[in-house]
Every structure is written in structure tokens, then in C-alpha cells.
Structure 1
Amino acid sequence: MKVLKFGGTSVANAENIKKVKDIVQNAVKDQKIVVVVSALGGVTDLLIETAQLASQQDEKYTDLLQEIERRHLESIKDLIPVAQQSKVLSAVKREFNILETLLEGAFLIGEITPKLSDKIVSYGELLSSFIINEYFESEKLYSVFKDARTLIITNENFGKGIVDFSTTNQLCETYFGTVSFDVVVVPGFVASSREGNSTTLGRGGSDYTASIIAAAIEAEKLEIWTDVSGMYTANPKLVHQAVAINEISYEEAMELSHFGAKVLYPPTIQPVLAKGIPMHIKNTFNPEANGTLITKNSNGTKRAVRGISHIENIALLSLEGSGMVGIPGVSKKLFEVLSNGEVNVVLITQASSEHSICLGVSQDDIYKAETLINEAFAYEISLGKIKPLIVEKDLAIVALVGDNMKSHQGLSGRMFSSLGKNNVNIRAIAQGASERNISAVIELKDVKKALNTLHEKFFEDNIKQLNLFVMGVGNVGAKFLKQIEQQRKFLKEQMKLNVRVIALSNSRKMVFDQGGISLSKWQEQLQNGEQADIQTFVKKVNELNLRNSIFVDNTATELVSNTYGEYLRNSVSVVTCNKIASSSVYSNYLQLKDLSRKYNAPFLFETNVGAGLPIIDTLKNLIASGDKVTKIQAVLSGSLNFVFNNFDNTTNFENVVKQAQEEGYTEPDPKIDLSGIDVMRKILILARESGYKMELEDIENESFLPQECLDTDNVDDFYTSLVQNKKHFDSIFEKAASKNCRLKYVAQFENGKAKVGLQEIPEGHPFYNLEGKDNIVLFFTERYVEQPLLIKGAGAGADVTASGIFADIIRIGNF
């Protein structure tokens, strides 16, 4: 004989109940079966709400009662042939008349007792099982209804009755040992006391009913049919990569169910475990799926961690004080007072110094627990030996579960380091002696991030998901997105990095998609997005709180750079080609660096100097290895190098500048490049990264532009001024050519001072043959004294800048 239990979603309506019938019809071909059913989906909650309204003397309870009755009557009309409906409808209406009387009683006296509450909520399962059995009979199944209250006996702990297994087992053995029907339909959740009063087995108790019966009759198998295909490696609603677990041990399933895996009511496992009866969790809506088979340990040594689970709305209670050290009975007194107050403790941790005890309880029990403990230790608190109870709210517990965790070293370290890298703060830790469970208390807001981080670490072949929030999709941004699209497969297969773009924004529109924006259709999605707003963008990024979040700034806007601190404070890494933040006042630059370290969120700006060239990274490695920079000489503007490499006595200076702008080598406002401010920012960044404190105004700027050009207010006026000063630019070229020199805009840092300006470079100098848009940097250090460390290559252009941003993202991925 097999026992099949169907949950509320499986019997939510007539359409679903027909699926249940098909499953039962298929199962009964081989053997007799017991079918345990829950109330129609959502009815138990409605009954509880109806009872509460009645006890508050709110007449709206009658509307809910009518809604409950309507659902049951509609199910009968949809399931039972018209010729057979009359007797079923009459029987159900009689039961609703009794239910109405019970609720009227609660309404009249203005209260509801636990005893009456159990009587009322039991109607959900009693009605659904009666209707389903009548439907089975109408479909020619040899079926009979059996009231669980005549089989399962409990005490009178209404709301969660304690089962008298001795009596219950005897009643089940007697009945099922003699029944001749192929199918026996039993209501779940409900039972009766020895005194004959209706009781219930707790929310989720239908699973427990099925397990009790299965154990009593030593069934071949217990099948739990629900709306998911088994127990998952994590909650699939929060972790989309979660997968169903094919096989799991009783103990592992018990741990997962206790820690929030709602697919299974925790007490369900114990009865079948004692008898060694296999339990199979199956999907009513996908009966062909494997589901999860729960048996004795069949995991072997294949995988240490079998699942990740969590409990939300937890509070931590900390009892601390010097008066606890070495004093026997403190723990006993603490747990006894909570036990007497019916406060369930879900986590315990105690410092080895005995100075403190930390407990995790449901947030619903905070007030009661705090009152009880402070009263119990009032004398010790008054003497100052123990502090008043410390309460922390809005927490959650995440747990790794697995039978073989004890035989694998370093699991705790991997768990906590992966959470730490995502700045998930751990408030308390607990690990049982069996080492089947490692639990950590974290902030409630970090649950989704923590679960995804741990799932990625233990179940996804260590593939790290990077979630990008990109602002700026012009020349550089568009190239960057194209590069991600091209390399996505390579990154996943070869580097174990899964790069997703979650948000995009330009100056007009922004779009967010938690599932990842399609990089082949991003323009269309962005065009249909909402109105762009920098602060709204920041708020949404931080509210999503995704693991491995990276903000990518492809703009040159100060307003955007001013938001970096808000990202870093929320553990969102920042990658930028925008030079404004790193060249802003030194205190702001330093603060961003400090925030990056404090919140474990990289702040990378390799493309601030040299686009895709590894200039800053090389400099960092020199400093980290103990070297000291003494002098820097560099051509740092690809745009200016392009301009002066293409400007001669056959061209107009204005036209060369326009060409540089059109090819994407200059900023949108070319005056930023030609005025030297861009190069000043770059040498300032290199000086700061070398360990020197310096401000932008400390840099000497030997500008080659006439003051008239510098005083222009817009791009058009700037170009006009270039035309008007043609002779000035021609004379600069002619003067250098007469000396057989080439013009290069050079940045130099030495002895704590920096300057930038146009220089005449003679033949034979390292800068002389610098072509096109290339950059070159010479680092003179205590190790590189006579021959400097030289870095040379393309230092401007959308493609190379995008590749530099991409490289910074890969650095974070490998972090």
C-alpha cells in the first residue's frame, strides 16, 4: 500500500483536482492507496481570517464565509455529473450551516478559543476530502472517505496536537488492514483528542497526517505531491539557478525543512524515518519530473553540501554580563523561562568565556521573550552583574545542510569568506556537533544576496555571476556592451564568470531587468525605459542588493562621479573611465579609497590614464612590492598626440581637432583635452597612486592655447576661436620643425611637483616616434633608476577604452 498526499495548490480548483485524479488512477493500477488531501488552496487562511473577524464582531466575516462556500459549491458543479450533484451539494451545505453556527457563536461572545479555532479550520480539509472522494466515485474509482479524526488521536494542545502514536497506530492498522476499497481518501491536518474534540496538527499538518498513516501501516512509499518538483538546492523563488535534488537523506531533508524549505512540514519525516519508509516529493503539474526521493543516506561522498535554506524574521537576544562567568544554572534558568513561556529557540551560541549567551527566536516572540528574560534576571540586572537583554531585529538565518559536511575541510571558511566578499555581515554562527548544519545569522535585507552567493559557491561549478549597472552608452558604452556580448560564452566557459547587464542608462532613459538585459536588443529596451534620473538609478541598484554588483560609469559627468560613495557604501563595486572623482579634491579621492576597503567593494579606474593600457595596475604593483616612484614622464593624451601627429603646414589646426573628435579620441568638449585639464587630471592620478598627496591646482599648466580660446563657453565658439588663431598654431609648428623637433604634450612629475605642457621633442628621444593616438609612460623608481619602466600603446579610442573597462570588470571577477 502507498500513501499519496496532495497539497493545497494541487487541489486548489476543479482543474487541478482532475490532475490529482489522473495521478491516483495511474497509481491504483498496482496496489491499494491512501490519498491524504489538504484544504482547497488558500481556504485554511480564509477560515482563520473569518474566525478572527467574527471574534472581533466584524460582520464582514459573513462575506468571507460566502466566498469559501462559493468556491466549494463551484468545485462540486465542475467535478460531479449533474445527476449526482444534488446529494453532494446538500451534504456540503449542511456542513456550512454548522460552520456558520460556530462562527455566529464567536461573533456573539466576541472571542475565539483555541478549541473553537481548531473546530472551525478543520472544515477546510473535511470538505475538500469529502468532495474529492465523491468525484473519485463518480469517475468509477473504487473509493471511500475516511475521517482522519477516527484514526489520529492527540492530546488537547489545540493548534498543534501531540499525537498518541500507540492509539493512532492501532486504529490505523485495524482500519487499513481490513478495508477493501482501492482508494481511501483521508483529510489531512485534522485529528481528535481522546475526549473526542477536533484538533489540528499545526500548519502544514497534512504532510504529517500522511506520514503518520504511512508509518502506522508500514506503507511501501509515501508520496508528497505539491506544486514544485521536489526539494531544491535553495529557494527557487530567490535563487533562479537552484535545481531539484534527486536524492537526499532523511536527516538532510529534516534539516532543510526546519530551516525554511516550505515544501515539507518539519515533523513529517520522523514517523517514516523510524520505519525506513521512502518518501518521494513529486510535482502534481509535472508528474513525469523525477522529484526528490528521501531515504537513508544515499549521498555517498559525492557532494558535501546538499542544500541551502533560510528562515526569515529572526531576532537575536543577547544576555551578557560578568555575573554569568562560572555561575552554574544561568543557561538552565534562561531556557526554562523561555520554555515555560512557549518561546521556541531556533539558534543558540555561547562564548567560551561564558560572558554571553546569544539566542535566535522568531521576531513574533520578541516582546514576550524580552519581558520574560528581564523579569527572570531582574535581581542580577539591578546589581549590574547582568545587562538588560539586548535585542536585534530584522534578521534571518541562512544554513548549509549536508550529511557529509563533516568529512570536508574548509566548508565554514568558504561559506564565511564568500559572504564576507559580498559584505554580508554575520551576526552569529552555530554549528552542531553532527556538522550536518552550519548556520549564520545575517540581516534580513541580505537574504537574497547571501543565498545566491552561497549557491554560486557550492552548486554552480564555482561560476561567479557579475551583475553590471551601466551608465553611459555612447561611443565607449556601446563598444563595451558589444565586447561583453561577444565574450560572454568565453568568460563563462574559460574564466567561470557569468556577466549580466542588469541596468542601462543614458541622459534620457534608463532600464532595469533583474533577469539580465538582452545585449542584442539593448537599444530597444533602453528606448522603452523610464525617464533617467541619477539618484533613482542609485536607489534601485542598492535596493536590488545583488551579489557581485558593479556600477560602470562610461560618462565624463561630475554628477555621476559624485554618486560613487553611495555605491561603495552598499558594497557595489565601481569601474569608471570618468577621471573626475579620482582627480577631485584629495579628501574625496581618499574617502572613496577608504570606502572601497571598508565595504570590500573594488574601486577601479584603470582607463583614467592610458585607456586600455595597464598603467595604473602596473604602478600599483610597483608600490605594493615596495618600490618608490621618483619621476614620471609621459605623453598621456591620445587625442593631443593624434592632433599634433597629424598637424603640419599642409593642414588647418581646427580641422585636425575636428577629425580627432569625430573619431572619438577627444572628450565631447575638445577644449577639455586641448586646455590640458585632461592631462593634468591624469598626472595627478598617477602621482596620487604613487603615494603623493596632491591637488589639481598644484600642477603647473603651460597652456599652448591663447586665452581667447580658453575663455569660450561652448564647442562652436571654441572652434571659431581656433580658426581665428590659425597663425598662432602655425607658428608653433614651424618653430618646432625648424629645430627638427616634433610637438608632444608632455606630463611630468618629479620631486613632488608636476607640470604639463607642449614640448619640442628632439630626434632620439623616446617620445619622438610616438605615432597616432599612442600614449607612453616612463616610470623612474628606486629600482628603475637609469632605464625607466616603459609602457606604450594606444591611449585613446572607444574600443581600447571599453577593453580597459572590461579588464577592470574581469579583475573584480577574479577578486
Structure 2
Amino acid sequence: MKVLKFGGTSVANPENINKVKSIVQSSSKEKLAVVVSAFGGITDILLNTLQQASEQDDVYKSGLEQIEQRHIEVIKALIPVHNQSAILSKVKSALNILETLLEGSFLIGEITPKLSDKIVSYGELLSSYIISEFFKAEGLDATFNDSRELIITDNSYGKAIVNFEKTNANCKEYFESDQHQIHILPGFVASSNDGNSTTLGRGGSDYTAAIVAAAADATLLEIWTDVSGMYTANPRLVKQAKCVTHISYEEAMELSHFGAKVLYPPTIQPVLGKEIPIVIKNTFSPDDEGTLITKNTNGGGKTVRGISHVGNISLLSLEGPGMIGIPGISKRFFETLSLENISVVLITQASSEHSICVGIADEDVDRAVETVNEAFEYEMARKKIKPVIVEKDLTIVALVGDNMKSHQGLSGKMFSTLGKNNVNIRAIAQGASERNISVVIKKADVKKALNSLHEEFFEENIKQLNLFVMGVGNVGSKFLNQIRQQKKYLKDELQLNVRVIGISNSRTMAFDENGIDLNEWEAVLGKGEKADKENFFDKVNELNYRNSVFVDNTASDEVANSYPNYLKNSISVVTCNKIACSSDYTLYRELKQLAKKYNAPFLFETNVGAGLPIIDTLKNLIASGDKVNKIQAVLSGSLNFVFNNFNDEVTFHDVVKQAQEEGYTEPDPTIDLSGIDVMRKILILARESGNQLDIEQIENEAFLPQESLDTNSNEAFFESLKKHENGFQELFKQAKDADSKLKYVAQFENGKAKVGLQKIPKGHDFYNLEGSDNIVLFFTERYPNQPMIIKGAGAGADVTASGIFADIIRIGNF
């Protein structure tokens, strides 16, 4: 014999009930017990209606009407017209009794546990009767049997305790004597020794099915629900979660205890002793393999089988010097909670005995605080024990697996993964069986924690990066295009799944929690909300994704000043914006320290040399123990482009205009031509070499006339260049006469830095620097005479975007 249980969603409406019938028909070669829940949502309506009646609120009658309407609609949809009369009569008779019971609650203005059980049992009693009549009408050899005649309990209404001796005898006798092939039974309901209706508590229909399966020595228990088995994590929160095809009883109990809603822990107990297999199947995808639960699976060699969580938890802490070495404190604490019927889901105690911390449901907190403070009133008055400390809005996250026992490093791996993503652990618990490692975290961090842990333990080392990109102009658009082009390569070759979650320009911003389609990002941004830098940060922080990276492609002071906010929330920052790293030294140091403190990389390779690995190389030199003595460099791709193209046959104005139009200069070209941009770059290199320096200390030998520097618009600036063309031509003539070329050079030596236009003679490393290329010479203790040279394209949207891309990959490899 097999036992099949169908949950509320499986029997929520006529269409679903037809699916149930098809599943039962395909299994009807052997004797079946089919346990069904109430129609989806009916139990909640019953409880709500009872509450309203007890509050003497007439609105309860509308709930009763809703219940009647739902059941009659199902009958009319499923049962042939000529069979409906008797069924409708019986259902309406039952509903009349239900109405009387609710009237009684209304009149006395209260709910008793006994009355509650009697009323709530109508959900399963009605659904199972209607389904049995439908099966009969469809020609199936089916019969209805009231579970209250089989399952006997005590009088603990709401969560009755089963008398297995009587229950097993009743079930054995019934299934041996009744020859029908299909037996329809209401789940959740039972009866006490004196014949009163009782219920089996949360997950009661699963429990009913397990009780029947064990009593009848079933070959298999099938739990049919709305998901295709037990998953490695909640698939609603972790998109990459996978179905676990085979799992042990113990693992299933651990997972179900910590929130895997497809199964409840008591369900397994009756079948555990008889080693009856359980299969979790999906009513709406019956061909899916599902999850098989048996005695021992060895987990296929896997250590962690699943990650689960239970929410709405509060921590209750009792602590004080008066607890140390005093026997019986723990007993009194737990006894106090037990007498209030408060369930403890997690326990942790300091080895010093100075404190005990327990996790309980949020709904029990106020009651728990009041009763515990009362129980320890004497000790608290004498300052031996502090009043109870409460932390709310928490969640327990648990790793589960039989093979976790004695497997070294799992706890460390779990804590490290959470720590890297700024998930603070409030409490830790691990049983002696080592089948479960539990941590308590903030409710707001649940999604991030589950996804981080799932990525670490289940996703074959594929790391997901979630990008939030501000600035999608010339550089930003190239960057998004490179991400789109390389997405498959990154995943296949580097095990990186890079998603762009948010984008913004100066006008609008847009977010997609599942990742923006980079083929359509312009359209998505066009339909976005009004851009706001503070709101952008708030949204990034609210989403709270693991491995979040803020990408700044702007030249904005305001955006640069927001970096501390991102880093403090463990959001990495990648930027081509030089302002932050070249501003006041204290801000530069703060950003570096925040990156370390919150484990959030702060990368700015493109601040110097666009896509050239200048800063990364310098970092490696310093990290390996080398010391920089001198830096000489041509660091402005725009200025190098200008002076490589300027001669006595073309005006300086035209060359600068060309550089701007081709994207070699900043939108405001005075930033480049004034030397400010080069000053920032040499300042960053000096700082990265370990020197404390501010931009005011850098000597700037400007070549632009003061009139050009003082202009306040691009139009005025370009007009001033025309006016001073003779001066620029004189500079060119002097260099030509000296058989040299003009290069704008930055230098740092002996703690001092300067920038300026120089005449570079033939034979010098800078002389043949073409186009917009950059070059850096590092003279160090290891390279004293022949410097380390880095040379290549140092400007342009494509190479800058590629440098940002490289920093993203570096973060992925951290």
C-alpha cells in the first residue's frame, strides 16, 4: 500500500483537484490512502472567521458565506449535476453545524481551544468528502473515511499528542477489512479518547499521512506539494537553488525544522522507525524527479546538503555575575519559558556561565520578557542578574548535512563567507551531531546570506558579482557593452556571473533585481525614475546583494564623496574618477582603511593610465618589499595626443578641439591642459608608493596663458587658444630647433613632485611616444639604473572601460 498526501495548493480549486485525480489514477495499481488538506486558504478563513466571531463582530458571517461559496463552487464544477443533490445536502448540513458553532463563539465572546479545533477541522473534513465523491463520480474505486475514527489523541487541543497504540490498531483493522482501492482521508484532524475533535498542529496533514503510512506498513509515502522536492535553499530567495534528489531522514528533519516548508519535522517520526521511504513531488509537474528521503544516502560524498532558515526570531539573553557557578539557573530559565508554552529554537551559552542566550519566535517575546524578569526578580533586585536583553528582527540560517560531521573548516568557511559580505553573526549554535551549524543574523541580511552561502557550497565556484553603474556616457556605455560581450566567457572561463542591477546617468536611474538586459539598457534607463545620488545609494543598500560593486564612471566630486557610504556597507567601489584619490590625504587614507575594515575592495586602476596596469604593478612592487626612488612619466594621453599632432602647419586650437571631439580630453579640456589631471595622477602614484602628499605640494609649470586658465566656459577657452596661437607656435619652434619633442612630464623624487612641459631630446624613452600613449618609468631599489617601464594607450573610452572591467575581474578573484 502507498500513502499519498496532497497539500492545500494541490486542492485549491477544481483545476488542481483534477490534477490530483490524474496522479491518483496513475498510482492506482495498488491500494492507496490519499490524505488531503483543506482547500487552499480555507483554514486561514476559518481561523479569521472564528476570531471575528469571538470579538462579537458581525463581519464573521461574510467569512462563513465565503467558505460556503468556495465549497459549493467546487462541487458544481466537479460533480455531475445528477449527483450533486445529496452531496450539496450533506455539505450544507455540515456548514449549518459550523454556523452554530461560530454563533456560540459570538454569543459568549471567546474562543476555547476545544472549540477552535472543532471549527478548524471542517476545512479538511469538507475537502476530503467532496474529493472522495468526485473520485467516485469519475469511476474510481474510492471511499471516504473520517480520520477521527482512526487517529486517537489526548486532549491537548491545537497540537494533540497521538496515542499510537490505539491509532495503529485502528488503522490496521480498517485497512485490512476495507477492500476499496482508494481511501480518502482528511489530514490534520483526529479525535480524543472521549470523542472530541482535535488537531495535530502545524504540518498536521503531513503528520496524518505519516501516521497512516507507519500504521499500515506502507511501501512508500508521497508528499505532493507545489514545489519539485526539497531544495538546496529556498528557490524563492536563491534563484540558483537545485532540487536535492536523495536525502536522509535526519537531513530532511534538520532542513524542515529550519524553514523548508515542503515538509514538517514531526512528519518523519512515524515512518522513521519502519524506514518507509518518503518522496516529495510536485502536483503541477508530476514528471519531475522530486526528492527521495530514506535511511542514509551518504550525500553522494557531499558535506553540505542544504541551507535553510527560519525567520521572525528574537534573541533573549540572560546574563550577570550571579549566574557563574550557581546550579539550577538554566533549569529555572528554561522551565519559566516552558510553563508559558514558549518554544526555544536555538540555545547558546558562554563557557564562563556568565550568560545564556536563546532564540524564540518574535510573537512570544513580550510574554517571555515579562515572565523571565518576574522569575528572576530577586536576583535582578540584588544586581546579580541583569534584566532580560532582547534583540528582534532576526533570522536563523543553518547549514545541514550528514557528512558535515568532523569535516574540518566548514564553520570557518561559513563564517568567512558571511563576513566577506558584511553579514554580522549575532549567535552561533552547533549540535554535538555536527549535522547542523546555525547562525543568527539580521532579517534584512537573509537573502544576501543565503545566496552567498549557496554560491560558496553549491555553485561550483561560480561567483556572482552585482554591479551598480553610475555614469553611462562615453566610458560607461563602452563598459556595459564589454560586459555584455564577455558575459559568457566570464562565466565559462573565470567562473564569474556578472550582473548589472542598477544604472544611472545625470537624468534617470533604473534597477532590475534580476539583472538588466544589456541589449536593452538604454531603453530601460529611458523609462527609469528621476536620478538622485542619495536614492541610488539607498536602493543599492536596500537590495543588500552579496558581492555588490559600485562603479563610478563620472568625474563628479559629489559621487566621489559618496564612496565612504558604499564601503561602510561592504559595497566595493571601482572608479575611473580621480577626485577621491587625489583629494585631501585624510579622505584617501580613510577610503583605504574602510576598504580593509569592511572587506570591500576599493580599486581605481584607471585613475592613472586608463587600461594600463600601472597602479597594480606599483602595488606589487611595494608588496614585494621594493622601494620607489623616482617616478618619471607622461601621464596625459590627451596632452600627448595634442603635442604629437601639433606643428607649424596646424593650429593649437584645432588640435585641442580634435582631441576633445575624439574623447581624449575631459568634457572640460582645461582639466587636461592646465596640468591638474596630470597632477592628480602623479599624486596618486606618490601616495600608492607610500608617501604622504597633497596636491598643493606639487609644482605645476603651466604652459597655458593665464587668460586661458581663467575662462569659465569651453567656448571662451577655445577663443583664448586662437588669441595666443603665436605663443604656442613659439613653443613648438623652440623644441624643433633643439631637435626635441614637446612632452608634458610628471616627476616624483625625494618626496617632491612636479609637472610641466619639457623638451625631450632624441634617445630619451619619452621621445618616440606616439598618439595618446602613456609611459611610466619606475626607478626602484631593484631597478636603479634601467627602470621598469610601462607603456601603452593611456586615454580613450575603450581602454578606460577595459581598465574598469579589469578591476571588476580582480574583485571577482578576491
> Secondary structure at the residue paired with 1:345?
coil
In the other structure, the counterpart of 2:121 is: 122
In the other structure, the counterpart of 1:75 is: 74
Moved over 6 A (4+): none
In the TM superposition, what is the alpha-carbon distance from 1:620 to its structure 2 partner? 1.8
Whole-angstrom CA distance in 1 between matches of 2:8 and 2:467: 40
Q: Which amino acid aligns with 1:519?
A: L
> Which segment drifts farther, 10-19 or 477-486?
477-486
Whole-angstrom CA distance in 2 between matches of 1:277 and 1:533: 59
Deviations 1:84-143 (A, max 9, x none): 111111111111111111111111222111111111111111111111111111111111
1:569 aligns with 2:607: no
> Which segment drifts farther, 785-794 or 161-170?
785-794
In the other structure, the counterpart of 1:14 is: 14
Whole-angstrom CA distance in 1 between matches of 2:779 and 2:330: 65
Cα-Cα RMSD: 1.4
In the other structure, the counterpart of 1:144 is: 143
In the TM superposition, what is the alpha-carbon distance from 1:784 to its structure 2 partner? 3.2
Could you tell me whether the CA contact under 8 Å between 2:247 and 2:299 is conserved in 1?
no
> Which segment drifts farther, 121-130 or 622-631?
622-631
In the other structure, the counterpart of 1:653 is: 652
Whole-angstrom CA distance in 1 between matches of 2:389 and 2:786: 63
Whole-angstrom CA distance in 1 between matches of 2:351 and 2:467: 43
In the TM superposition, what is the alpha-carbon distance from 1:325 to its structure 2 partner? 2.2
Deviations 1:730-757 (A, max 9, x none): 1111111111121111112223222211
Deviations 1:26-58 (A, max 9, x none): 111x11101100000011111111111111122
> Secondary structure at the residue paired with 2:301?
coil
> Which segment drifts farther, 269-278 or 661-670?
661-670
In the TM superposition, what is the alpha-carbon distance from 1:300 to its structure 2 partner? 4.9
In the TM superposition, what is the alpha-carbon distance from 1:627 to its structure 2 partner? 3.1
> Secondary structure at the residue paired with 1:166?
helix
Task: Figure out how many residues of one structure are paired with residues of the other and give that number.
Answer: 814
In the other structure, the counterpart of 1:43 is: 42
Whole-angstrom CA distance in 1 between matches of 2:44 and 2:26: 31
> Which segment drifts farther, 347-356 or 379-388?
379-388
In the other structure, the counterpart of 1:601 is: 600
Q: Which amino acid aligns with 1:307?
A: G
Could you tell me whether the CA contact under 8 Å between 2:663 and 2:796 is conserved in 1?
yes
In the other structure, the counterpart of 2:349 is: 350
In the other structure, the counterpart of 1:27 is: 27
Whole-angstrom CA distance in 2 between matches of 1:595 and 1:97: 68
In the other structure, the counterpart of 2:2 is: 2
Unpaired runs of 5+ residues, structure 1, are none
Q: Which amino acid aligns with 1:570?
A: N
- Identity level (%): 71
Could you tell me whether the CA contact under 8 Å between 2:203 and 2:267 is conserved in 1?
no
> Secondary structure at the residue paired with 1:467?
strand
Matches within 5 A, 1:557-706: 557-706=556-705
Matches within 5 A, 1:721-736: 721-736=720-735
Whole-angstrom CA distance in 1 between matches of 2:386 and 2:782: 58
Could you tell me whether the CA contact under 8 Å between 2:50 and 2:102 is conserved in 1?
yes
In the TM superposition, what is the alpha-carbon distance from 1:629 to its structure 2 partner? 2.6
1:361 aligns with 2:325: no
Deviations 1:339-398 (A, max 9, x none): 122111111112222222221111111112222222222222223222222211111111
Could you tell me whether the CA contact under 8 Å between 2:191 and 2:198 is conserved in 1?
yes
Whole-angstrom CA distance in 2 between matches of 1:414 and 1:442: 16
> Which segment drifts farther, 424-433 or 682-691?
682-691
> Secondary structure at the residue paired with 1:316?
strand
In the other structure, the counterpart of 1:381 is: 380
Q: Which amino acid aligns with 1:10?
A: S
> Secondary structure at the residue paired with 2:581?
coil
> Secondary structure at the residue paired with 1:3?
strand
Whole-angstrom CA distance in 1 between matches of 2:685 and 2:382: 60
Task: Give the TM-score of the pair, scaled to structure 1.
Answer: 0.98
> Secondary structure at the residue paired with 1:502?
strand
Whole-angstrom CA distance in 1 between matches of 2:450 and 2:91: 45
Could you tell me whether the CA contact under 8 Å between 1:247 and 1:299 is conserved in 2?
no
In the TM superposition, what is the alpha-carbon distance from 1:794 to its structure 2 partner? 1.2
Whole-angstrom CA distance in 1 between matches of 2:299 and 2:439: 26
Deviations 1:439-463 (A, max 9, x none): 1111111100010011111111011
In the other structure, the counterpart of 1:743 is: 742
1:170 aligns with 2:166: no
In the other structure, the counterpart of 2:433 is: 434
Whole-angstrom CA distance in 1 between matches of 2:630 and 2:151: 87
> Secondary structure at the residue paired with 2:760?
strand
Could you tell me whether the CA contact under 8 Å between 1:14 and 1:78 is conserved in 2?
yes
> Secondary structure at the residue paired with 1:88?
helix
Q: Which amino acid aligns with 2:4?
A: L
Whole-angstrom CA distance in 2 between matches of 1:236 and 1:744: 59
In the TM superposition, what is the alpha-carbon distance from 1:549 to its structure 2 partner? 0.6
Matches within 5 A, 1:71-220: 71-220=70-219
Could you tell me whether the CA contact under 8 Å between 1:56 and 1:110 is conserved in 2?
yes
> Secondary structure at the residue paired with 2:8?
coil
Whole-angstrom CA distance in 2 between matches of 1:46 and 1:758: 82
Whole-angstrom CA distance in 2 between matches of 1:135 and 1:290: 28
In the other structure, the counterpart of 1:266 is: 265
Could you tell me whether the CA contact under 8 Å between 2:246 and 2:299 is conserved in 1?
no
In the other structure, the counterpart of 1:555 is: 554
Could you tell me whether the CA contact under 8 Å between 1:401 and 1:437 is conserved in 2?
yes
In the TM superposition, what is the alpha-carbon distance from 1:407 to its structure 2 partner? 4.7
Whole-angstrom CA distance in 1 between matches of 2:157 and 2:655: 88
Deviations 1:294-340 (A, max 9, x none): 11112355211111000111111222222222222222222222112
1:326 aligns with 2:325: yes
In the other structure, the counterpart of 1:495 is: 494
Q: Which amino acid aligns with 2:359?
A: G
Deviations 1:403-437 (A, max 9, x none): 11115321112111111111111111111111111
Whole-angstrom CA distance in 1 between matches of 2:750 and 2:67: 84
Could you tell me whether the CA contact under 8 Å between 1:149 and 1:191 is conserved in 2?
yes
In the TM superposition, what is the alpha-carbon distance from 1:208 to its structure 2 partner? 0.4
Whole-angstrom CA distance in 1 between matches of 2:400 and 2:480: 39
Whole-angstrom CA distance in 2 between matches of 1:696 and 1:105: 83
Whole-angstrom CA distance in 1 between matches of 2:591 and 2:270: 58
Could you tell me whether the CA contact under 8 Å between 1:301 and 1:404 is conserved in 2?
no
Whole-angstrom CA distance in 2 between matches of 1:435 and 1:575: 40
> Which segment drifts farther, 618-627 or 236-245?
618-627
Whole-angstrom CA distance in 2 between matches of 1:131 and 1:82: 14
Whole-angstrom CA distance in 1 between matches of 2:474 and 2:339: 68
Q: Which amino acid aligns with 1:7?
A: G
Q: Which amino acid aligns with 2:462?
A: I
Whole-angstrom CA distance in 2 between matches of 1:669 and 1:756: 19
Q: Which amino acid aligns with 2:652?
A: F
Whole-angstrom CA distance in 1 between matches of 2:752 and 2:45: 76
Q: Which amino acid aligns with 1:391?
A: V
Q: Which amino acid aligns with 1:169?
A: N
In the other structure, the counterpart of 1:232 is: 231
Whole-angstrom CA distance in 2 between matches of 1:185 and 1:407: 46
Deviations 1:629-652 (A, max 9, x none): 332221111111111111111111
Q: Which amino acid aligns with 1:726?
A: E
In the other structure, the counterpart of 1:288 is: 287
Task: Give the TM-score of the pair, scaled to structure 2.
Answer: 0.98
Whole-angstrom CA distance in 1 between matches of 2:702 and 2:639: 12
In the TM superposition, what is the alpha-carbon distance from 1:529 to its structure 2 partner? 2.4
> Which segment drifts farther, 217-226 or 743-752?
743-752
> Secondary structure at the residue paired with 2:422?
coil
> Which segment drifts farther, 426-435 or 683-692?
683-692
> Secondary structure at the residue paired with 1:336?
helix
Whole-angstrom CA distance in 2 between matches of 1:711 and 1:61: 78
Q: Which amino acid aligns with 1:37?
A: V
Whole-angstrom CA distance in 2 between matches of 1:426 and 1:137: 56
Could you tell me whether the CA contact under 8 Å between 2:225 and 2:283 is conserved in 1?
yes
> Secondary structure at the residue paired with 1:8?
coil
